[in-house]
Amino acid sequence: MEWDLTLIIIIIVFGFLAAFIDSVVGGGGLISTPALLAIGLPPATALGTNKLASSFGSLTSAVKFVRSGKVDLKIVGKLFPFIFIASVGGASLASFLPAAVLKPLVIVILSIVMIYTLIRKDWGSIRTYKKLSKGKAVIFVAVLLLIGFYDGFLGGGTGSFFLFALLIVGFDFLSAAGNAKVLNFASNIGALILFMILGKVDYGIGLIMAASMVAGSYAGAQFALKQGVGYVRVLFVVVTSALIIKNIYDYLQ
């Protein structure tokens, strides 16, 4: 691939925009992956390269949220290695099974998430989380592992799914966003390692986009912390809507 100024600008601009959104509610892949495809990367390499860049971005926003006190380190610290392993498993399966298999299910689940969020007007405005019973804790962990597996397998909407799962158990939108980014970093790293092993990462393009994503993630997390819960809720609805439309379009194609 020939390098020129236009290509570098595309990588930087779209990487920043993707990370700004992804730093709070996920969905940045809607912007960054098409940008990588547009500059000529093969689909598998575009996905692997996006994982490299987004891993830097999710780490940046995760650290920002941790420093702001919006992350429950005891909870996500225990979950981190399991999400990582689940993502590796999902990425491994992706090399054998077409991603289109999950598309209809993803559309249905995202639609349910969207409807539920719109109906529950005050949902996520305050934190009501309490220690879960053993039964609920098992279900909660199982759901998070499935999301981690899904991120390795397909990926679109992972941040939204993590956020929704945390909201269900009583986190407010802002703390849910912070915890979700740490878990999303775990799933990004797991999938990235497998893409690296398979040789599906363009390190030159990936590292340039990673630099812009670090800046975008920091700016996005900073903006979310200043604007508060209301901003995160609105962004969550907008991104989830975009994910539904994108998945329907891909499925019909």
Q: Which range, 150-159, 209-218, 221-230, has the best average confidence (pLDDT)?
A: 209-218
Give the span between the Cα atoms of 165 and 236, in whole angstroms: 13
- pLDDT by residue (tens digit) across 64-110? 999 999 899 999 999 999 999 999 988 887 767 666 666 677 778 77
Give the span between the Cα atoms of 27 and 246, in whole angstroms: 11
User: In the prediction, which pLDDT does 67 show?
Assistant: 92
Give the span between the Cα atoms of 163 and 201, in whole angstroms: 28
b/e string for 118-152 if b means 16 or more Cβ within 10 A? eeeeebbeeeeeeeeeeeeeeebbebbbebbbbbb
- How much is the pTM? 0.83
Choose among 123, 104, 236: nearest CA to 180: 236
What residue spans define the domains of the chain? 5-252
CB 40 within 8 A of CB 205: no
- pLDDT by residue (tens digit) across 123-162? 556 677 778 888 889 999 999 999 999 888 777 778 888 9
For residue 137, CA distances in Å to 38, 133, 154 come to 43, 6, 25
User: In the prediction, which pLDDT does 184 show?
Assistant: 93
Q: List Cβ neighbours of 180 (8 Å cut-off, separation of 6 or more).
A: 25, 26, 159, 162, 163, 166
Give me the phi and psi of 199, to 5 degrees please: 75, 30
Return the axis-axis angle of helices 229-252 and 173-197, rounded to nearest 10°: 40
